[in-house]
Structure 1
Amino acid sequence: MAGRGRGNPLALAVLALLYEKPMHPYELATTMRERRKEESIKLNYGSLYAVVQALQKRGLIEELETVREGRRPERTVYGITERGRLELFDWLGELISTPVKEYTNFEAALSLLPVLPVEDALALLRERRTKLEQELTAADALREWVGKQGVPRLYYIEWEYTVRLRRAELEWVAELIEEIAEGRLEGMDVWRSFQREFQGEFQGEAQGEGRRAEDRG
């Protein structure tokens, strides 16, 4: 089973919830939202139903019964199979024990940073710093509220992990901004030279295109 269909954390969440008890898809989604798991696992109803169907097809979950509540449409209740329980523990164990390379959008953008003019890059990094500060302020308020509700730390450690990452990112971004602003970042001369050369070529092409347009006119 290892490695098969393990690209979607939502499938792992479905297995974990059905390990607790049988549920229908609407209850799965409601439970995740009540526990604020959508902060860590991307959730929408369309993808949830697709995940449920895929798990059933693989024999990891099975239909148990169809129920109707009042005037609501019938809903199919699913339960986890023995095969599903084995997959749940194996998959979860793999994710917790083994670090993997994650390709983030920010990392990709940083690898292409010299494409931007230095001043533009600085402005964008400062904007990111502000948004990170706002996000962390909101996270602190949420954590304080959760603490007042008496929720054990065990049930929001994923938030704590995310906040720690964000704080580290904020500190690093702030340092990078200072290095660029003060010209201390190694390679700044190459960056500025590249931009001067690029801007010169761009302006030359623009002027040439303008002359050709005049000639056509």
Structure 2
Amino acid sequence: MNGHGGDRVAARTQRRSPLAVQLLLLLAEEPMHAYRMQQLIRARHKDRIVNIAQRNSVYQTLDRLLRAELVEVADRVRTPGRPERTVYRLTDAGRGTLDGWLKEMLSTPAREFPEFPVALAALAHLTPELAAEYLEERAQRLRARLRQAESDAEQAEGMGLPRMFVLEDEYQQALTETELRWVKGLVDELRSGSLTWDRQWLDAVSARLGPPETDTDDDTATP
């Protein structure tokens, strides 16, 4: 395989993202332009699982998919009074890559780095009282999210929408319910004092769990 071919293969195997997957899925339905993709993502409520808050995110992702030869330009259309729009379609390589991505995403739990565990790991930086206050605010927002999810589920049922099209909503709701139970339990422990800390206790734990002393000076060690 020549160098250019190797570059193309490498390009197809990188930069997987939720938005890239969603765009390939839309193009698997039919060729379309970026604005229609944005409209469909919002109309189908997929903006709850992919981030299109930034105005150019769809265009930037499409540009990466185009360079990776996962999509190609099918046409350029101009409607009176509107700018010219580029219509994209899925390539054979894009279809194969999409199938591979879905297999991996469904079969293999991803190593993700969400913010909440980072904040939990830093909880000792706060007082127990302040930690409980912040976590109670989170619990309130989780309750509001669940109420919205229940309303959306009722609406989907009323529309006769098949369950196949709301599986991601079921999953998100299950995660939210589980997180809310856990957060409420943690708040209860903080409020009751069964989970607590102070500076003296933290200093003692830090001294006991600190790294062992060695004779090697890292600054002078040979790499």
TM over 0.5: yes
CA contact (8 A) 2:73 2:89 kept: yes
CA distance in 1, matches of 2:129, 2:147: 27
2:84 corresponds in structure 1 to 74
Q: 1:181–1:132: structure 2 CA closer, same or farther, 3 Å change rule? A: same
CA distance in 2, matches of 1:3, 1:194: 51
SS in 1 for 2:75: strand
CA contact (8 A) 1:56 1:62 kept: yes
CA distance in 2, matches of 1:104, 1:75: 36
More helix by share: 1
Does 1:16 pair with 2:22? no
Unaligned runs of 5+ in 2: 1-8, 204-223
Q: Which amino acid aligns with 1:179?
A: E
1:96 corresponds in structure 2 to 106
Q: In the TM superposition, what is the alpha-carbon distance from 1:5 to its structure 2 partner?
A: 1.3
CA RMSD of aligned residues (A): 1.7
Which digits, 9 at most, give the CA deviation of each residue in 1:56-107, with x for residues without a partner?
A: 1111111111112232111111111100100000011111110122211111
SS in 2 for 1:45: coil
SS in 2 for 1:150: coil
Q: In the TM superposition, what is the alpha-carbon distance from 1:133 to its structure 2 partner?
A: 1.0
Q: Which amino acid aligns with 2:55?
A: Y
Match among 99, 115, 139 for residue 129 of structure 1: 139
CA contact (8 A) 1:126 1:177 kept: yes
1:116 corresponds in structure 2 to 126
Match among 50, 66, 73 for residue 63 of structure 1: 73
- The alignment of Structure 1 onto Structure 2 pairs a total of residues equal to 192
Percent of paired sites with the same residue: 36
Q: Which amino acid aligns with 2:104?
A: E
Unaligned runs of 5+ in 1: 198-217
Does 1:33 pair with 2:42? yes
CA contact (8 A) 2:129 2:190 kept: no
Q: Which amino acid aligns with 2:59?
A: Y
Does 1:159 pair with 2:169? yes
CA distance in 1, matches of 2:84, 2:202: 66
CA distance in 2, matches of 1:141, 1:180: 32
Q: In the TM superposition, what is the alpha-carbon distance from 1:53 to its structure 2 partner?
A: 1.0
2:214 corresponds in structure 1 to none
